[in-house]
Structure 1
C-alpha cells in the first residue's frame, strides 16, 4: 500500500502533534515530524506554539453545560442499538461507554476494554478494565458485553448495525473479565467497529430504555423523547479525569437561525451543525467561536432503483450530470465542503480512491439521458426537508438546473419532525444525511450491501457483496485498497445515491467552552464532547 504525502496540515495532524507533546517529545523531534510531513520550518514553529497552548489548557470543574443539536423526534432513544440520529449518539456518548473509541487522530484507543487482541483477525479476545461500575452500582463484567453485542444479532431488537454485527458468529464469556469473539471471516477492523456509537455497553438483561443505566460520564436524570435530556456528573466514573461539568442538558433547536441566536444570546453554550449560510451571523460576534470538522459527513440525493422514475434506464445518470456540485460547494455550503463523487468514502480516509472523478455539470447531457428514459418534460417530485443539512437548498439547485432543459422538478418540502421515519428510505426521490463512519467496510455494510438496513437507493449487486467480504478478511493492505477502490467506482456509477459534497461540520460555541476538538466520528467531538469539555467563568 502506498501512502500519500499530505499537502495541507489538518486538524487531525494538530491532534497528533498535541499527543506527541503529551508523550514528552522534544521540540527537535516535533519539528522533524512536521518537516517529514511537508510542513515548512516557519509554519511548523507556529503549529508547535498552537499545539503547546492547547496542551497547556487546564480543565476546570463545575458549571452547567447546555447544548442544542438540530434534530429530534418522539422516536429519540436511549437504546444504543437503535440510535440513528446525532441527537441519540450525543446522549448515548454521555450515558454509556464503548469497548474502544477513536481519538482525535483517528487511532483506536481502549475505553471499557483493557486489551483487544487477535493473532489471525478472526478470533478475538477482549479483556475488560477492572472495577468499572454501572450507574446503579453493578460491576461491569463480561456478561454485560456478551449481552450488549448479542442484542445486535436479535432481529426483534431492530439494531441499526445488525448487518455489521452478523459477522460475529460466537460471542462468549471466558471469565468475568474476558470475552471471546469469533468472526465468520477475518476482519482487522473489529477494534474500530467496536468504537461505533451503536456498540455502547448496557447492563446484562436491560430491556427498559426509558432511562439509561450505563457506565458513562453522566447519570441520566431526565429523558423526554423529542424534548430534552439532563445528566449529572457520575461521581464514580472509572476514568482518571472528567467529566468536568456538573450537569449536561441537551435538546434540539431544529430551526438553524434560532439555534444560532441561542448561542449568540448565551442561552446555550454550543449550537451544533450550523448552516454555512449562517456564518455571517457569527462573524465578529464577541464571545462566540466556531469549531470546524472535516470527517466525511454528507447530505445525499437518493433515487430508488426499484421505483419510478429510478427504474428507467438513463434517469439516474442524468440526475448525476444535472447536479451542479460547484454551486452546492460554493453557493450553498460557502466553501465549507469538498466536492463529492457519488460514493461515501471521503478523501480523509486512507482507502479513498483519488482517481475517481466527480460527474461534471452537463445539463445537455442530462437532457439527452432524460429523453432516453422517456421522462423529459414530466413533473418529477423531490422530497426534501430541513432535517437533512442543506437539503432544501440542494433540491432548489436541481430544480433550477432542470428548468433550463425543460425538466420540471416539484420540490416537496416536508416537516423535519417525522422525516426520517416517514420519508427517508421510502420516497422515490429524497434526501439523506449520513454521519461519518471510520472505515469503508462500515459505510458499505450499512448503506450499499444488498441487505443493508440503510440501503437508500436499494442498490443490489452480488459482486459487490462478495467483494465486501473479501476486503474485510484481507490482511494484504495493497489488495484491500484495490478492492475498496473498485467498490467505490461501482457505487459511484451504479447506485442511485448522488453525493455532491462532503460537508465540513461547523459547531458554534461560547468562547468560555474549552476543550472541544475535531474527531473523525463527526461534529461535537464525535458527539462525545460533554465528557471532555469544561467551562471557564
Structure 2
C-alpha cells in the first residue's frame, strides 16, 4: 500500500527524525521513503514535518561558529562602550541586563525580579537572589549601582550617556534592592534597561580584557578585531542554561565570503546576508534563512554644519533624488519597506503613518540644487560595505544625479576603520542604525542637540523640549501626538535621509534550531548564542 501523510504513523515519524539526527542527507531520506512506497510529493511533505520536529527539539552540546559583518580593533567587552554588532553579541553572551525584550517586544525580567514605580519617576528594582558572576562573586545591589553610574561618568565614554543622564539617583536600598530616581517621569525605563549597553558588571570593574559577567557563557578568548571564543557557564542562574558547549564569533565583512563560508560548512551562522544572495541560499537544502523587519536602516547623512549640507535646499534636493523604489528593489532585492526619512519604523507602535515618503522627483531636486548653488559641482559621497548596501545606494543616487547635471562622486572606502574614520565625520556619508525599542531612545541617541550619534548635527531647541515632554507624558494619546510631530520634524529638517527600513536576513545551517526574530535586531537581538542549539 502506498503511504501518504494520512496513514504515516508516529513510529514512522520517529524513524525519520532519528535518521535526520544521525546526519542522513535529504536525498538519502527521500530514496528511503520512496522505496517504502511513499509518493515523492508526500515524501517531501513528511520529510519537512520530520525536519521541523527535529529542529524544534532542543539539543545540548556542540560548538557553533558564527560570523557577523563588521568588526574593528576597537571591539570591546565593555558594555558601556559597545557600538558594533560584534560588541553586542559578545555582551549578550557574557553579561545580563536587568530586563530583556522577548520576540513580541514585551519586557521580561532578567537579573531583576521586579521593577516597579508609582509615578514613573522613582523606581524600585528588586534583584534575583542566587546569581553569581563568572569569578564566583554574588550579584548584589552594589553591582547595579556601579554599572548604571558608569554611564554618567564622562571618563567612561558611555554610548548611552545621554539616555542615562535622566537618572539623578542610583542607590542601594538593601543587598538586593536598588532605587533609581529620574529627573522627570519616564514610563519607558524598564524597556530602556533592556538595551545592550545596560549590562551589569561587577562592582569596581576596570579591566575589560576578559568579561566577568553573569551571562550564559564565559569568555575564553577575546582578540579585538579578530575573534572571540566562549564556553558554557556551568553555574548560570537560569534554569535552562545555554544549549551550546561553546561558540566562536568573528566577522567576515565581505558578504560573498560570508555566504560561501556558510555554504561550505566552515561556519554555522552568517549574519545580515545581502538579499542578492537569497537565490543562492534557496538552492541549498543545508541552509535556512530568517527574515525580519524591525527598524534597521542604512541612511544617507548630510552634515548641516559642513559644505554642502549647510546650503539651503541641498538636503531637501538629495531627499527628492533618492529613488526609494529602486533602492528597495535593486539594493535590497525587495527585502525592505519604503521609509519616510525618520527612524521610527512601522514595527513601532508610535510610527507616524501620515508622513508620506518623498517621491522620486529629479527635476524638483535639480531646482533645489540650483537654489543651493551646487549644480554642476563635484559632490563626494563616502560609502563602504561596512554600512549595509550603502555602495549600491550611492550608485543609484549617482546615476539619478547624472541625469540632471549633478556630479556626484562615490568615494568607496574599506570596511576596516569606516566607523571610526568616516561615520559622523565625512560631510556626506552613510550610517547603519540597529533597531531601538522606543522613539525616546532613537531621538536621544541620534537627533537631540547633545546626541552622541547626531549624524547630521541636527539641533533644535523645540525638538529637545518636545523630547523631554514626551518622555514624561503618562497620557498615551498625548505622548503619541508628540512623537508624531517629532518624526515630522526629523523628516523635514534633519540632514538624514532614510529611504527604506531593511528586512534583515540571517542565514544559517539547517542543523541550527531555536532561532527567532527579535525587535532589537538580527541574531535574536544579538542574543542568539544563549538560545540556539545544533542538531546532530
- 1:110 is aligned to 109
* In structure 2, distance between residues paired with 1:347 and 1:96: 30
CA distance in 2, matches of 1:174, 1:123: 13
Which structure has the bigger radius of gyration?
Answer: 2
**Counterpart check, 1:120 vs 2:119:** yes
Kept in 1: contact 2:448–2:459 (CA 8 A): yes
Structure 2 residue 158 is matched with structure 1 residue 159: yes
Aligned to 1:97: 96
Q: Deviations over 1:207-230 (max 9, x none)?
A: 111110000000000000000000
Aligned pairs for 1:54-203 (under 5 A) are 57-203=56-202
Distance 1:294 1:110 in 2: 24
Task: Return the offset for 1:57.
Answer: 2.5
Q: How far apart, in 2, do the equivalents of 1:65 and 1:242 lie?
A: 16
1:380 matched to 2:344? The reply is no
**2:408 pairs with 1:413:** no
Secondary structure at the counterpart of residue 296 of structure 2: strand
Who is 1:3 aligned against? none
Residue aligning to 1:456: 455
The residue aligned with 1:393 is: 392
Look up the match of 2:33.
none
Q: Which residue does the alignment assign to 2:20?
A: none
What are the superposed Cα offsets for residues 361-417 of structure 1, whole Å, 9 maximum, x if unpaired? Answer: 000000000000000000010000000000000000010000000001110001100
Change (3 A) 1:55 1:297: farther
Query: Cα distance, 1:470 vs. partner?
Result: 0.2
User: Which runs of no fewer than 5 residues in structure 2 stay unpaired?
Assistant: 1-47
Match of 1:427 in 2: 426
Cα displacement (A) at 1:166: 0.1
CA distance in 1, matches of 2:521, 2:364: 36
Q: Shift of the alpha carbon at 1:54? A: 7.7
Corresponding residue for 1:37? Answer: none
Give yes or no for contact 2:55–2:514 (8 Å, CA) kept in 1. Answer: no
- Distance in 2 of aligned mates of 1:56 and 1:364: 53
Measured after TM superposition, the shift of residue 242 of structure 1 is 2.2
Query: What SS class does the counterpart of residue 296 from structure 1 fall into?
Result: coil
What is aligned with 2:14?
none
Q: d(CA) in 2 for partners of 1:97 and 1:293?
A: 24
CA-to-aligned-CA distance 1:106-127 (integer Å, 9 cap, x gap)? 0000000000000000000000
Q: CA deviation at 1:159?
A: 0.3
Shift of 1:534: 0.4
Cα distance, 1:441 vs structure 2:
0.2
User: Number of aligned pairs?
Assistant: 487
Which runs of 5 or more residues in structure 1 are unaligned?
Answer: 1-48
Aligned to 1:335: 334
What are the within-5 Å matches in structure 2 for residues 29-48 of structure 1?
Answer: none
Q: What is the DSSP-based 3-state SS (H/G/I as helix, E as strand, rest coil) of the residue aligned with 1:231?
A: strand
> Who is 2:512 aligned against?
513
SS of alignment partner, residue 239 of structure 1: coil
State the distance in 1 between where 2:280 and 2:447 align: 38
Deviation at 1:55, TM superposition (A): 11
Describe the superposition over 1:473-492 as per-residue Cα deviations: whole angstroms up to 9, x where unpaired.
00000000000000000000
Aligned counterpart, 2:30: none
Aligned to 1:41: none
* Corresponding residue SS for 1:353: coil
In 2, distance between residues paired with 1:91 and 1:207? 18
In structure 2, C-alpha distance between the alignment counterparts of 1:276 and 1:58, rounded to whole Å: 29
Deviations 1:428-461 (A, max 9, x none): 0000000000000000000000000000000000
Q: Please name the residue that 1:291 is paired with.
A: 290
Q: CA deviation at 1:281?
A: 1.6
Find the residue that maps to 2:469 and give its secondary structure: helix
Q: CA deviation at 1:58?
A: 2.3
Deviation string 1:80-130 (CA, Å, 9 cap, x unpaired) is 000000110000000000000000000000000000000000000000000
User: How much has 1:56 moved relative to structure 2?
Assistant: 9.2
Counterpart CA distance in 1 for 2:63 and 2:416 is: 28
Cα distance in 1 for partners of 2:516, 2:104 equals 10
The whole-number CA distance in structure 1 between the counterparts of 2:245 and 2:304 is: 50
